[in-house]
Structure 1
């Protein structure tokens, strides 16, 4: 294996946000180790891997015995990762998922609510999703939650970011402190934009807890709430939920 330091993608290809690309990747790399006890030899799945923001820092941590798998709906991001990461780190694999997405892949073939992750059951030690469930509506999100549980080994961990709606968030909302607003109420979730609901989606925390229980995922308390709601005490921007698949 020939290893090298992988540079960030050029700005014209970067669709996940140019500001803080490297810093956010490094931030979550720390969370993977500190909150999820990620080991260098483990099998990792990056759902919604984008253009390598999380993969790049992992190239310097996962060893030759590890497996990294990532998939995304944006083909140009997958193409870049295949051309710039895999040749130097052949245990890093990237796959285009031709899933219908109004913003990123409008001519896709498969609805997210029908998509089966292309991996065997009980294969991964660690699965993570950063800023994925914040853009998914309930039927699609429910399917992904079931698939996450299916591909995780018993005792495997997952880290997922959310905008969570709960009592504290509502109190801060009433004070005008929420940094993201979700004015359109759909019951178990609220959305940021009327005509583009998947632009940003927030979920009731009690619903997310129920979804985890239904899929055999045990939340590792406490939830790590983010700054988006206006809290003074926070870890990241979005809320971070770490869970373990039951044995």
Structure 2
């Protein structure tokens, strides 16, 4: 493959180009270790890097926080975008992922940092010692330019979600932005669920959310759209419309798989 690619890459770019490929391949975890859901690991990471730039204005010099960083699906493509002036911090409740990233990514990119957070989650970390509703992000106020969460609030109950949003507002710089994915329950998605077109059957209404499994609710959680947007307002974040709806419920027109909400922290008057 390398010989074929050489025909399309100018000589002066071949060194950096193939070094970049080597880094990426070396940093991609084996499928047996991946716990971040279905789909192509590399393609999804590249897709979201594009969303971060186009929807939320991510720049190379930004400080970035990845809440629920998994095993590097979003971090790896960002190594090719963030400059040494910027930086990446990620934490996750699954130690396997943060240990892998610390061993494979940080030695090559010292401005990429990974941390395990022992937060309880019935589905993903049942032995966690800290409740998500009490967890304080391990960062100072007004530290980050951009924060993102992909497929995190789809596994969190309301009290936990609201605390995380308050923490996002605390550590985000004034004028900074966040991009968060949801599974939003609204008239359209509810109709598609009833019609049997949805991948996820959110027919069980709980206390402030919907789930597919009442016995294990955090396996998949959907929120009423208006209720979800009100969480942002209560926590001091301003949603930037429109909501970009996803394909999860069987829509014909969509941007990604889950629904995407972008919000900002207002600057002081």
TM-score bracket for the superposition, by shorter chain length: over 0.9
Question: Which residue, 175, 188, 197 being the options, matches 1:155?
Answer: 175
Question: Which residue, 42, 56, 59 being the options, matches 1:36?
Answer: 56
Counterpart Cα distance in 1 of 2:219 and 2:164? 18
Aligned to 1:191: 211
Q: List structure 1 runs of 4+ shifted beyond 6 angstroms.
A: none
C-alpha contact 1:113 1:141 (8 A) present in aligned 2: yes
Deviates more, 1:120-129 or 1:13-22: 13-22
Aligned to 1:22: 42
Deviation at 1:187, TM superposition (A): 4.4
Higher Cα Rg, which structure: 2
C-alpha contact 1:189 1:201 (8 A) present in aligned 2: yes
Deviates more, 1:185-194 or 1:115-124: 185-194
Q: Give 5+ residue unaligned stretches, structure 2.
A: 1-18
Aligned to 1:217: 237
- Aligned pair 1:205/2:205, yes or no? no
Q: Report the RMSD for the aligned CA atoms in angstroms.
A: 1.5
Map residues 124-203 of structure 1 onto 2, 5 A cutoff: 124-203=144-223
Counterpart Cα distance in 2 of 1:15 and 1:190? 23
Provide the TM-score with structure 2 as the length reference.
0.88
Question: Which residue, 2, 6, 24 being the options, matches 1:6?
Answer: 24
Q: Give 5+ residue unaligned stretches, structure 1.
A: none
Aligned to 1:121: 141
SS at structure 2 position matched to 1:12: helix
Deviation at 1:15, TM superposition (A): 1.4
Deviation at 1:67, TM superposition (A): 1.4
SS at structure 2 position matched to 1:227: coil
Counterpart Cα distance in 2 of 1:169 and 1:23? 25
Aligned to 2:105: 85
Aligned to 2:90: 70
Deviation at 1:210, TM superposition (A): 0.9
C-alpha contact 1:11 1:18 (8 A) present in aligned 2: no
SS at structure 2 position matched to 1:157: strand
Q: Per-residue displacement from partner, 1:185-228 (whole Å, max 9, x unpaired)?
A: 01421001121100000000111111111112111111000011
Provide the TM-score with structure 1 as the length reference.
0.96
Counterpart Cα distance in 1 of 2:113 and 2:204? 38
C-alpha contact 1:85 1:92 (8 A) present in aligned 2: yes
C-alpha contact 2:162 2:235 (8 A) present in aligned 1: no
C-alpha contact 1:117 1:147 (8 A) present in aligned 2: yes
Deviation at 1:10, TM superposition (A): 1.3
Aligned to 2:249: 229
